[in-house]
């Protein structure tokens, strides 16, 4: 099978180690690839000694995510709606890629992130309730969360679940001794703390945006009144 060519495309998003591309042959899918500069930084010359013996090297992130996908499927035949679905792998001209379903909004565009919703003034009571439902669903599930923040949460829509948040990155344990994998209680406690931080930050950001919007509206009204 020929390599999927991505090098000539512009990434849809870029994280600390990976770029995300729209699958050139299927716009319902995304391909995540690990950047060469990230590989060199973490596993090239001068790398920490303990990383030299890792069997999976820079693909350890794929292993973490796949492990969580399997853990979820071991308990249910249905995929958890709040976690991005992994569908396979792909050989690309940028390296070995992880293929996932693209989370999209009501009109078929890529789903906006939580910060984008907040900054555009769309973080209303309904959206906040959907965020709470997502966070509570993640806490109740066996999935392990490594990194949860606004940029990893997108507001998607589909026929079955309607509007809902999806975690698109940050699953799987990164610790040397994975206590969260050993204990459901520890895992739930750690997830609750992360979820509370996400919600608190979202509320504070929304309050800031709403205050700024109200201030601008007041200033505009004052200028119009003065011009009369």
Maximal C-alpha separation, the chain: 75
- 10-39: pLDDT as tens digits: 999 988 789 999 999 999 999 999 998 867
Residues 8 and 88 in one domain: yes
Mean of the pLDDT values across residues 197-220? 89
Residues 108 and 98 in one domain: no
Residue that terminates a domain, selected from 69, 86, 102: 102
Residue 88 sits in a domain whose CATH number is: 3.30.200
Residues 50 and 29 in one domain: yes
Residue that terminates a domain, selected from 102, 137, 169: 102
Residues 38 and 117 in one domain: no
Residues 117 and 184 in one domain: yes
- Read off the pTM: 0.87
Per-residue pLDDT at 173 exceeds 90: no
Residues 52 and 80 in one domain: yes
Residue 94 is given by DSSP the state T
Report the alpha-carbon angle 31-197-171, nearest 5: 30
Judged by average pLDDT, the poorest of 43-52, 75-84, 202-211 is: 43-52
Q: What percent of the chain has pLDDT over 90?
A: 61
Q: Are strands 29-34 and 86-92 parallel, antiparallel or unpaired?
A: unpaired
Mean of the pLDDT values across residues 165-181? 75
Residues 97 and 107 in one domain: no
Q: Are strands 153-158 and 95-101 parallel, antiparallel or unpaired?
A: unpaired
Residues 121 and 30 in one domain: no
Range of the domain at 16: 1-102
Per-residue pLDDT at 179 exceeds 60: no
Q: Report the pLDDT value the prediction gives residue 170, as an integer from 0 to 100.
A: 87
Domain count, the chain: 2
Q: Report the pLDDT value the prediction gives residue 76, as an integer from 0 to 100.
A: 81
Residues 42 and 14 in one domain: yes
Per-residue pLDDT at 128 exceeds 70: yes
Residues 53 and 37 in one domain: yes
- 146-164: pLDDT as tens digits: 889 999 999 999 999 999 9
Residues 58 and 163 in one domain: no
pLDDT, averaged across the chain: 88
Q: Which residue has the higher pLDDT, 42 or 113?
A: 113
Cβ neighbors of 179 (< 8 A, separation 6 or more) are: 186
Residue that terminates a domain, selected from 102, 136, 155: 102
């Amino acid at each position: 099978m020929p390599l999927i060519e991505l090098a000539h495309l512009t990434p849809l998003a870029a994280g600390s180690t990976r770029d995300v591309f729209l699958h050139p042959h299927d716009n319902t899918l995304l391909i995540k690839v690990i950047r060469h500069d990230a590989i060199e930084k973490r596993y090239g010359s001068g790398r920490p000694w303990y990383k030299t013996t890792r069997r999976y090297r820079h693909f350890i992130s794929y292993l973490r995510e796949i492990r969580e996908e399997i853990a979820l499927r071991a308990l249910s035949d249905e995929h958890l709606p709040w976690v991005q679905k992994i569908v396979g792998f792909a050989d690309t001209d940028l390296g070995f890629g992880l293929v996932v379903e693209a989370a999209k909004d009501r009109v078929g565009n890529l789903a906006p992130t939580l910060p984008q919703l907040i900054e555009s003034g769309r973080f209303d009571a309904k959206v906040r309730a959907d965020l709470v439902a997502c966070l509570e669903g993640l806490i109740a599930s066996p999935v392990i969360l490594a990194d949860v923040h606004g940029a990893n949460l997108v507001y998607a829509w589909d026929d079955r679940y309607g509007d809902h948040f999806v975690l698109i990155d940050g699953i799987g344990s990164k610790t040397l001794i994975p206590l969260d994998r050993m204990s459901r209680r520890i895992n739930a406690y750690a997830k609750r703390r992360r979820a509370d931080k996400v919600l608190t930050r979202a509320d504070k950001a929304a309050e800031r945006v709403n205050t700024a919007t109200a201030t601008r509206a007041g200033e505009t009204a004052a200028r119009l009144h003065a011009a009369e």
